[in-house]
Structure 1
Amino acid sequence: MLGISALFHRTNFTDSEWMRFRRLDHIGIYLCIAGGYTPIAMVAVDGWVQKTLLITAWVSVALGTTIRFLPFDPPYGLMNGLFLSMGWVAVLAIPQLIGFLEFEWLLLLGIGGVLYTIGAFIVGLRRPDPWPEIFGYHEIWHAMVVAAATLHYCVMAFGIIPHA
């Protein structure tokens, strides 16, 4: 996700190339969200919650990927809405995660989700935009993504995977 995003934001493209990389950028986000759900679903939860997380995550990847390959851009905000919907399905796992994860890992998982959400609203609203030419709303969004991804990586590496 971050590699395609970095390339997408740092290279000059023709219009068709830009559209292709934007699609890949969005598909990378879907895969990252589903990839974050999968170890939690496989290791930390069970029953209907496990099935719901896995089905929702991977059906959303298929849906989002399909939408991104339509011959036109989806309505503004649809992609962010799908990203947020995918992410917040995680609340279904909280009761089982409380019994599985130590409090600090659960807290970091939640903080990461909140950072992603705030960042999505910032990029969706396109504000605040403090220094548009240097560090604007889009850079704030990416800083929040990096912080949230780091927190979620730590939760997976040190909170979830040791139980696998």
Structure 2
Amino acid sequence: MSVPLQTHTTQLLQAPSGVRVPIDRELIPLILRLWSLGLNTKASCQNFGESLQDSGPGMPPGDPRWSAFYSDRVWLKLPPAPADHLITILGADRELSIAMNEWGRAASWLCVRPVVPDIYGGPARTRDTHLFFPREHLDQVIEVLGRSESVPFQSRAVSSA
């Protein structure tokens, strides 16, 4: 799915769940490949920094420092297990692996998985994974996923005894 603000030109695609969702045009090949591998996305954006600059009805614009930091970065939001699987596939590529492991450079990737307190007083919970990478890596990511002979991801159901 795309971020709530329609900053970029989108196309409606039918997600694996059957729901039609707007996907940023630049991300369509990536999202379709992720879905074909069983890696269902929760949200995406072809230029997250640009989206942070815009404000929607009743929303203030984002902090310009964050807009600059995320400028020209693709954003993918996935559940933790599919995100781990995606990072494993992409990490097999030498160039992408270096970008994933070298923080603080223009070509660096950023993976954020917030751990937050439960609002009802329960134990802390791990939220979805947010993966940010330079748009200049988009074609390479699609290429690596395209040649991946990985078995499609299947979430593991937890059984109770």
**Structure 1 or 2: more strand by fraction:** 2
**Structure 1 or 2: more helix by fraction:** 1
TM-score (normalizing by structure 1): 0.34
